[in-house]
Chains A and B, each alone.
Chain A
Amino acid sequence: MSGGDRLRDVAGRLLDGARRRGIPDVRVAAGRSRTVTVVWRKGRVDKVQESARLGATLHLYLEGRYTSCGTNDLRSEAVERFLDAAVAMCRAMTPDPYRAIPDPALYEGRPEVDLALFDPAAAEATTEERKEYAAAMEAAALETAGPKAIQAETTRQDDEGELYQVHSNGFEGSQRSSTFAGWAEVSLQDEGDKRPSGDYDVAARRWADLPAAAETGRRAAEYGLLRLGARKIESGRRTMIVENRAVGRILGYLLAAASGRALQQKQSFLDGAVGRPFGSERMTLLDDPLIPGGLGSRLFDGEGISARRLPLFEAGVFRNFFLDTYYARKLSLPPTTGGRSNLVLPPGDRSLDELVAAVADGILVRGFLGGNSNSTTGDFSTGIYGTRIEGGRLTHAVAEMNVAGNHKEFWRRLVEVGNDPWPYGALRIPSLVFEDVQFSGV
């Protein structure tokens, strides 16, 4: 059996088995993937890992009773026992009036486009090629880092996989995809015992979209060198630029409040914010599942809802929550989608260098450390590291500092965005400039 046929077989067995046991509405997703990882260090292989996975998830709906199950034990007797257990659990549930299989109307209008998520090169790459790539990352990293380098550790990881999804009320879909990823981390000897490191990680659906190995290695070393001699500075309010590849953490805090569950469970500071100004004019954010080659791209979501672009913020105005069918029904709202795909913030006009040059007193944040955010109240507090900006120039590394605020006022301080959206992930977000942010240090 081919990979796709195997998935159809597994999904069919689970769907039929559940129906035979008296479950009227069933969703099944079967997936398989193959992953090869090569880690390189000290001029040789540190680790080679290869694996193949095959498993399925199952959602059962019986008159408001619901269970969500999963197994990778696909021996026929084991599948029968799994189904028995899943159905027994389902039958023991109390009916929930809001629980039902997704409305088939949501399956309609699936975009007929090729998202270019699978690159046949995934099947052609050899372990030797991956070793060469990892070795080239290491060589470039060590050369750039110079005498302070302790070591560089580099990873090349390739995945290829396939998903088949079928629902008892008329949905069927499949998607094949590949991912090529490179990562380099360089450790450097600083003063005393400190050994700061820098890293750079890239991922792409298509082999041709991955940067050259030497570039990944060089960038990792550069980020490491930028952390040497870090010190904390005095507490105060200043401008914060968050570099494009670091934006994910703070954006994740914000979007935790944009989930339907957070809204319905009254754990969202965005409750009541739809259609109202929330952030600054620069704050436009779109969930876009249809970017060709996008790491988060898809034609349908986990519930079979056809993919479409979902505006989250438009010129500062909050537009939409992520609503799966369950929480949408509880809230009496139309479903959007339960989870994010690619996030896009339209780029501005100036480069990161130009943004830095315009700041008199600030910090270019290159990464976050720890921290958390309260999605109910909007309060957040998180550690940062980065580079001090004085008079439009980057002067020295900073570390061991915190930023804190509340999302409800923080996003109003977004005054400019860079022209540099991050190309190697599902977050296509440029560098962001926030004014008047509370930093704590000495």
Chain B
Amino acid sequence: MKPMGRRKFLELTAAGVAGAAGLPLFGGCRKSRPAEAEAGRADLAAAPSSVADAAPPAAKETGYFVENFGIDEATLRRTIAEGLSRGGDYAEVFLEHKTADGIVFEDGQVIDASVRVDLGAGVRVLLGDQTGYAFTEELTPEALRAAARTAAAIAAAGAAAGPERLARLEPEPRYPQQPLWLPVAPADKLSIVDRVGKRVAAGDPAVIKAAVRFRAEDDVVLIANSDGVLAEERRPMTFLYATCTAEKNGRRETNWFSRSRRRGPDFYTEELLDRIAAEAVRRTLLLFDATAPEPGEMPVVLAPATSGILLHEAMGHGFEADFNRKGISIFASMIGRPVAREFVTIVDSGLERDDRGALAVDDEGTPGRRTVLVEKGRLVSYLHDRISARHYGVEPTDNGRREDFRFPPLPRMRVTFMEPGPHAPEEVIASVKKGLYAVDFSNGEVTIGAGDYSFYVKTGYLIEDGRLTAPVKDANVIGNGPDSLAKIEMVAGDLALDGGTWTCGKNGQSVPVGLGLPTVKVSAINVGGVRR
């Protein structure tokens, strides 16, 4: 029972435990929900009856929140003006209505399905780098005004004027913009999960347990700010996470495979369901032949796609500009400096269509873009929100993200990857006499100031004399961000983005992210293992 946001927790997990939605908080503590009660959904009838209670919307105004809650532009402008009423220099309103279904399969059938509704609005007021924040779970003009008044108290001077008009931003869509899951009948959602679960169970005679978790969200958000920007968009999300436990000669092993996209039911083709089930089984059976590696420092070759966790942990968090403007990131004085070899280019992008980390517009109203962080080995940009962009005198980079309306935005990653390099994957492996080939990962963590990062290798292989040999499992890898960046000796041309359920945690907020990597060699990282 720890207060939220008190700790700089910077974590990445593949477990798909995305943000808590709509759970009543008791005593302000964030409960960790049992997995089977985690997801949710809600019902958004097309003709909401609430409009009758609210002020009649202005003529011809269209949009989700004006049509469903009567929150029109005039209300948004009044809320922003209230936020600025004590002299703040920026104010923003963030409205959100999220509906989510969660389904759990165990022991041959669906055992739990949940429906969850989360509704609310956050108001943020900035005075320089100081933040006032308040949220309400009632979408009424009065509640918005009260929240704005609370947030306004960060300043204590004369009123600043609100925007005279709001201009609707129409960002290029990066994912579908219609309700994707609400129209789907419960039985059809249950069937997706049931089919995968049964396929995992039937995948091999050694399988003794098959479990599946599924989540599908229709999330609608609106951002309006004192710069006069108004943006409204839908942010669909779904994941399917299959777990397999198998037994051989009295030994048991468990592993999983998951896929996630900002998509609707059409994402789950028969081919994908087959692949998820088959991969969960294959990855589990692999563990019977694997052992923990020998401990110590060694060259590590990272397989394509999932190994993007290296960028997320070793560099990505350290590039987040809130840590840098405060001078507490190990990268704080490295902007413009060479940090890696010339074939290393690292990008963070909101533009990867339907990716879990895609973002057409961020939670501060900045349109999606692609941000080069390391260009040909030189650190050229941090990841910015409004506060840090103003601090550094640069444009925001579309990285201002929040878990939901209960939180102010922070600089966060979207889809982080490395551009292809000049080497061939075989050549990279062949260059290692004795080392680790890391294939699949479960989670990672970093300390921003010291720069030490870590990630957990679920499966991989030893490299001996340039060839992949014995499979290995369950080894934590630990290194130092700038040190490992400088030790990237080879980069292959086989960049692939991973499609797993990556969820990034920072200051108590979880957001979905994407990642990717080509085959990469780091000349020395510390591998945790057991001496036989």
Contact = CB atoms under 8 A, between A and B. Distances in A.
Interface of A: 29-35, 37, 41, 44-57, 66-73, 75, 77-78, 81-82, 84-86, 88-94, 96, 99, 117, 127, 150-151, 153, 155, 157-163, 175, 177-179, 181, 183, 185, 187-188, 190, 193-197, 199, 201, 203, 227, 230, 232, 235, 237, 261, 265-267, 295-296, 326, 330, 338-339, 369-372, 374-377, 379-383, 385, 399-405, 425-426, 438-442
A85 B42 CA distance: 7
Contacts of A371: 445, 454, 456, 476, 528
A127 B292 CA distance: 52
A185 B101 CA distance: 38
Contacts of B119: 72-73, 78
B295 A31 contact: no
Contacts of B137: 52-55, 72-73
Given A177-B27, A196-B449, A380 B474 contact: yes
B474 A372 contact: yes
A266 B209 contact: yes
Interface string B246-262: 01000111100000000
Interface stretch (B2-10, B231-239, B342-350): B2-10
Contact of A235 (B45, B50, B295, B474): B295
B482 A193 contact: yes
B60 interface: no
Interface in B490-532: 526-531
5 contacts: A33-B24, A73-B119, A187-B326, A193-B334, A197-B447
Interface of B: 1-8, 21-29, 34-37, 40-45, 48-50, 53, 97, 101, 106-107, 109-120, 129-137, 150, 153-154, 185-187, 190, 208-209, 211, 245, 247, 251-254, 292, 295-297, 313, 326-334, 406, 408, 442-456, 473-480, 482, 526-531
Given A370-B313, A376-B245, 20 more contacts: A35-B4, A45-B154, A48-B131, A51-B135, A53-B24, A55-B23, A57-B37, A161-B27, A179-B29, A187-B449, A194-B451, A196-B447, A196-B450, A377-B252, A379-B292, A381-B474, A381-B528, A383-B452, A383-B528, A400-B526
B436 to A, nearest CB: 12
A65 to B, nearest CB: 9
A302 to B, nearest CB: 9
Contacts of A377: 251-253, 474
A87 B245 CA distance: 32
A74 to B, nearest CB: 8
B111 A99 contact: yes
Given A85-B42, A155-B6, A404-B476, A369 B113 contact: no
Contacts of B7: 183, 199, 201
Given A266-B209, A383-B528, A92 B120 contact: no
Contacts of B443: 370, 372
B472 to A, nearest CB: 11
Dominant SS among interface residues on chain A: strand
B478 A401 contact: yes
A439 to B, nearest CB: 8
B111 A66 contact: yes
Rank and list the top 3 A-B pairs by shortest CB-CB distance, nearest first: A159-B28, A402-B528, A370-B454
Contacts of B114: 67-70, 89
A402 B476 contact: yes
Contacts of B245: 265-267, 376
Nearest to B208: A266
B118 to A, nearest CB: 6
Given A78-B117, A440-B296, A163 B478 contact: no
B48 A369 contact: no
B107 A195 contact: no
B476 A194 contact: no
A31 B477 CA distance: 41
